[in-house]
Amino acid sequence: MTTRLLIIGGSDAGISAGLRARELDSSCEVTIVLADRFPNYSICGLPFYLSGEVPDWHWLAHRTAEDIAREGIHLLLDTTARAIDPANHLVAILDETGKPRQLPYDRLVIATGAVPVRPPIPGIDLPGVFLLRSMQDSFAVHAYLDTHAPRSAVIVGGGYIGVEMADALTRRGLAVTLVEHGAWVLKTVDESLGGRVGAELRHHGVEVATGITVERIAQAGPRLHVMGTEGFGATADLVLVAVSVRPQTELAEAAGIATGERQAIRVTRAMKTNVPDIYAAGDCVETWHRLLGAPTYLPLGTTAHKQGRVAGENAVGGHREFAGTLGTQVVKVFEAVVARTGLRENEAKEAGFDPLTVEARAWDHKVYYPGAHETHIRLTGDRQTGRLLGAQMVGRYQSEVAKRIDIFATALFHGMHVDELNDLDLSYTPPLSSPWDPVQMSAQAWVKQRHQAE
């Protein structure tokens, strides 16, 4: 009997679910309900479109609508899911003409993603103030850049989108002020590395204001005035608010689907919800953390792809489980790259480990070969067992930071001890590394400090 698989949401998780289902069961009827016209577009690529480094937004498509249709998937674009009726296996929608309809399903995958947090800042709805999460958001910012030719911008929020957009708008020729409520930018890494990212921003002309809570945005003639604590004030032509995201789960909750961490949909590792025949995946769900052995909320594109694939497989009779996340992340800021995986020291303590963190410096390749740069690595391991718990890195764009954090991530995935990193058979040639890779040098520094402390 043909399985009718209905998917709500057509970004990373939704498309991955549909493709995997069709791979395993070519008779499966897959329909994807998408609220806009942009299936499987790279939201992570929006800053590079706005910077001009990616000149055509069409290039951000992982797959075109035509590519997806060729896989036997039916796309309902500009279609809004309004309600889920689990008892009757129906989803109420408004189609692209605004006409209400009911769609039946045998299995349902919810992949509604996340939406930007709108902090309660007076003036956030003024013209020239933007949030950035969707293709439509990027078109609005792009149009404003083209039509208003702003010369300055204030960015509220020093997370990944904030620092990437500081880079993007600086490349567009704007004078940028970045405002962060924490003590340093990129709070996903420790202060010593976040401080280096702040220094990189300042080196490229970005004004960085930390320890500031934005309290109000007001019209100042044709411009916008941003006011905050500690007497902060800045006037600009454009304001971008990028403080956080939250899971978009209202539709699921209304159908009786349980939520957990940060109101994300609670799922098993098979991506099942508490409601029969309904799965969920991506930025709207909790994520199983491989080190913590518990759910958390970590919205990442890589994770969404994997979870969607698991949901799609199981929706057509499979028995796969999501292997878990380690929170592996990387971001480029001008000429610097910052990355992390696993747990930081404070996170490891909260999880019951006995962490020791060592910060090491190593050249990215042999110093005698031109162009060598120092890479800063913070490595965290368990003092009692020697188990690797996490790593953070900052280096230059050319220094293979992303691939080196992947070595740590692979080691974490397989439960390796810090000292075992030295046994890895890693490649070496003077223009690219050293006989002991920086990953291994940091491991040696950790082992030495642990031994000295005994």
What would the pLDDT profile of 314-371 be if each residue is shown by its tens digit? 999 999 999 999 999 999 999 999 999 999 999 999 999 999 999 999 999 999 999 9
CATH level 3 topology of 4-114+246-315: FAD/NAD(P)-binding domain (3.50.50)
Bridge partners of 153, per DSSP, are: 176, 238
Task: Round to whole Å and give the CA distance between 294 and 315.
Answer: 23
Say if strands 223-228 and 207-210 run parallel, antiparallel, or are unpaired.
unpaired
3 state SS of 56: coil
- pLDDT at 149 (0 to 100): 96
pTM of the predicted model, to two decimals? 0.95
Name the nearest CA neighbour of 222 among 149, 169, 156. Answer: 149
Q: Produce one character per residue of 319-347: b if its CB has 16 or more CB atoms within 10 Å, e if not.
A: eeebebbbbbbbbbbbebbbbbbbbbbeb
- For 360, left (φ over 0), alpha (ψ -120 to 50), or beta? beta
Task: Give per-residue burial for 25-46: e unless 16+ CB within 10 Å, then b.
Answer: beebbbbbbbbeebbbbbbbbb
**Topology of 335-453 in CATH?**
FAD/NAD(P)-binding domain (3.50.50)
- What does pLDDT average to over the chain? 96
Query: Is 284 among the catalytic positions?
Result: no
Q: What is the pLDDT of residue 431?
A: 95
Give the tens place of pLDDT for each residue, 209-262: 999 999 999 999 999 999 999 999 999 999 999 999 999 999 999 999 999 999
The 3-state DSSP class for residue 387 equals strand
Residues 160, 186: Cα–Cα separation, whole Å: 7
pLDDT at position 453 over 90? no
CATH topology agreement for domains 129-243 and 335-453: yes
Which residues, 6 or more positions from 224, have their beta carbon under 8 angstroms from its beta carbon? 123, 126, 128, 129, 154, 217, 218, 235, 236, 237, 238, 239
CA-closest candidate to residue 157, choices 198, 134, 114, 186: 186
Report the first-to-last Cα separation within the chain, whole angstroms: 65
Catalytic residue among 4, 29, 37, 44: 44
Please report which helix (H) or strand (E) contains residue 288, including its range.
Answer: strand 287-289
Q: What is the pLDDT of residue 445?
A: 98
Per-residue confidence (pLDDT) for residue 398, from 0 to 100: 85
Check: CB of residue 106 under 8 Å from CB of residue 277: yes
- The per-residue pLDDT for 362 is 96
Q: Cα angle at 198 between 126 and 402, to 5 degrees?
A: 105
For residue 44, the model assigns a pLDDT of 93
Q: Give pLDDT, residue 272.
A: 98
Backbone angles phi, psi at 433, to 5 degrees: -165, -160
Domain 129-243 has CATH 3.40.50.880: no
> What is the mean pLDDT of the segment spanning 80-96?
97
Give the domain ranges of the chain. 4-114+246-315, 129-243, 335-453
CB atoms within 10 A of CB 426: 16
